[in-house]
């Protein structure tokens, strides 16, 4: 029997992308033939970078870290509709805490019921379990040290944006 080609999407706002996100991406690369980082727009989040800027930043990281089979693009609308349009087999999600599990479980069940798409969860590594883009933005706005939480190139762009 031939091996099935598996395409996954990893949706999120990635505003900004963190080392926790990269941890999930690197581990997801081992599970899937193709991984699309899907930068979404969230109407309920106060976003710092435009979707285009986030795609640029993530693309630079993918190129620099040589991540075969990984691509990045932005999308509008429902994640399940985007996944269907990309003919994705699964949605990849990272889990940090028990709070994430409750929310993500409900979302995964809904996505499967509505669109028939499965969700695969990867627990983030321990050192990133508390990290969120929202927390990163807050720490950066107060001048905190983020050197071990986000890539250096992202930190530089974040500092530049906050100094405007």
Q: Is 97 a member of any domain? A: yes
- Asked if pLDDT for residue 88 goes beyond 80, the answer is yes
Closest by Cα among 125, 122, 124, 126 to 108: 122
Q: pTM of the predicted model, to two decimals?
A: 0.92
Q: Is 164 a member of any domain? A: no
Closest by Cα among 129, 133, 105 to 118: 105
Q: Is 2 a member of any domain? A: no
Q: How does DSSP assign the chain, residue by residue?
A: -PPPP-EEEEEE--TT--HHHHHHHHHHHTT-SEEEEEEE--TTS--SS-HHHHHHHHHHHHHHHT-TTEEEEEE-S-HHHHHHHTT-SEEEEEE-SHHHHHHHHHHHHHHHHHH--EEEEEEPPGGGTT--HHHHHHHHHTT---TTTS-HHHHHHHHHHHT-
What's the whole-number mean pLDDT along residues 81-106?
92
Q: Is 148 a member of any domain? A: no
- Give the catalytic positions in this structure: 21, 45, 96, 133
User: Mind listing the pLDDT tens digit for each residue in 24-71?
Assistant: 999 999 999 999 999 998 777 678 899 999 999 999 999 998 999 999
Structurally, how many domains does the chain consist of? 1
Range of the domain at 81: 7-130
d(CA 126, CA 43): 30
pLDDT at 16: 93
What CATH number is given to the structural domain containing 13?
3.40.50.620
pLDDT at 41: 84
């Amino acid at each position: 029997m031939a091996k099935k080609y598996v395409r996954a999407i990893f949706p999120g706002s990635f505003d900004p992308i963190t080392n926790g996100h990269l941890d999930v991406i690197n581990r997801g690369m081992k599970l899937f033939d193709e991984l699309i980082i899907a930068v979404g727009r969230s109407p309920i989040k106060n976003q710092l970078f435009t979707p285009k800027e986030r795609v640029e930043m993530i693309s630079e990281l993918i190129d620099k870290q040589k991540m075969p089979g990984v691509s990045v693009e932005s999308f509008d609308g429902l994640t399940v509709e985007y996944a269907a349009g990309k003919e994705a087999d699964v949605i990849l999600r990272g889990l940090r805490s028990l709070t994430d599990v409750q929310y993500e479980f409900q979302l995964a069940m809904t996505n499967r019921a509505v669109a028939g798409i499965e969700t695969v969860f990867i627990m983030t590594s321990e050192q990133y379990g508390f990290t969120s883009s929202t927390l990163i933005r807050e720490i950066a706005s107060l001048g905190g040290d983020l050197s071990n939480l986000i890539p250096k190139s992202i930190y530089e762009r974040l500092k530049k944006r906050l100094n405007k």
